[in-house]
Amino acid sequence: MSGAVPAKYQSASEIVDLVTNREISAVEVLERYLNQIEEHEEDVHAFNLVTINEARAAAKETDKLIVQGEKLGPLAGVPVAIKDNLCTKGIPTTASSKILEGWKPPYDATVVKKLKEAGATIVGKTNLDEFAMGSSTENSAFGPTRNPHDLSCVPGGSSGGSAAAVAAGFAPIAIGSDTGGSIRQPAALCGVVGVKPTYGGVSRYGLLAFASSLDQVGPFATSVRDAAIVHEVIGGYDPLDSTSIKQAPNSFVQIIDEGVNKLKVGIISELMGGIDGITHEVIEQTNKAVSALSNAGAQVEEVSLPAALYCLSAYYLIAPAEASSNLSRYDGVRYGLRVDGANLKEMNVNTRTEGFGDEVKRRIMLGTYALSAGYYDAYYGKALKVRRLLAENFADLYKDYDVLLSPTSPCTAFKLGAKVNDPMTMYVNDVCTIPSNLVGHPAISIPFGSGKDGMPIGVQILAPPMKEPVMYQVARTLEQASQ
């Protein structure tokens, strides 16, 4: 493959065992990953910022606690990369946008705080499509990220930097956000595991909002088990997030190896060729995953999710509408970039014109139009009706099926620049992942084979809300079959 980066994989759980048993120090683990970053980051550009000094200090503190005999967290000594739309105290957080130039949050996002408390070592802030708006990580003020499997290809988006960081061996774990597929789609294109938890299952406090009713934070990992471990760490109720679920978090790791015998799996027919743009080789690999589940004892049947045909249209009304509202706070007054003008209005216009990139401006305009007088009912209102219909479709299916299955991305990683000037073609990359966001359900993408170009293909498992344990069971079974 063209200019591929050799990944140096090591699982997070292996690192924890080695560090806690004092077979290797947290500092030694960190330096191995920092060396990989130093060798290949210039080619990949997974990071907006590598926090070398802070990471070394954290690793030294972990080793100190081990010597003192202190009890360590479940991610002790594990390097973790954080998407640059999650607040990190005293460390620049940009959302890959000029408009947040120079801003350093005064607090950590809840997810970041939980990772630190679990003993993780934060190694840096990863690149993304500006304000998480994109499917290729080409819409970044800091330039595109490249796919470690082929540097001429995109890593997917918007969490492309996080996916690439794990795929390139820069960190065994990364954190992303998923509004319409922004964890799962890049996970598929980069050949790693990516999880979108149940909406409200992981705190959004400290996540720079794109679309508040859709955004969710989740992990990237090299294995299903590692993803489950991290999910347990970052999940749970947070009083700082008004949408957080007041329910004791499930344990995912304990039942992950229980298999799929007698589970019922529905294959979503609309996402297996019923929508244009899903390639034959992706469908072929998904069918192999279906066979693997059947061979493992699951009862597999084709099912219909009729509202899936309208999800893309509904999403690109709802998400921009919420973005239009959320991004109004970037006005040149409160924080970040300010471009002066003759008066307040002119300053505001100048700041937003220079500070936002083309894709963000496009979505703000779409959202503002959809919410405007005379068009609200015709567009936004209808999109909400599709959302409700989709929820009803899912509810009907989950009466009879434990999980659903589909491709993750309609194609393998495409070339850099191939779709950047065609927004409609770019938007189709989210066609398989958007349904889960619209209804707030969990979903996971795992690598399952590759295309003729040698690039990874991902398969997606969807589950009812708060039913991640069974989702991880199925994912683990497929992971074993793919190996």
Please compute, for residue 379, the number of CA atoms within 13 A of its CA located in the half-sphere on the CB side: 19
Rounded to 5°, the CA angle 341-344-345 comes to 90
382 assigned to active site: no
Selected catalytic residue, list 13, 25, 83, 203: 83
Selected catalytic residue, list 25, 182, 223, 406: 182
304 assigned to active site: no
Q: What are the structure tokens assigned to 457, written together?
A: 């293909």
Q: CB count, 10 Å around CB of 481?
A: 15
By residue count, the chain amounts to 483
Selected catalytic residue, list 158, 159, 177, 324: 158
Q: What are phi and psi of 406, to 5 degrees?
A: -160, 170
CA-to-CA distance for 346 and 331, rounded, in angstroms?
11
152 assigned to active site: no
Q: Are 30 and 123 in contact (CB under 8 A)?
A: yes
- Which residue type occupies 41? E
Name the residues annotated as catalytic: 83, 158, 182
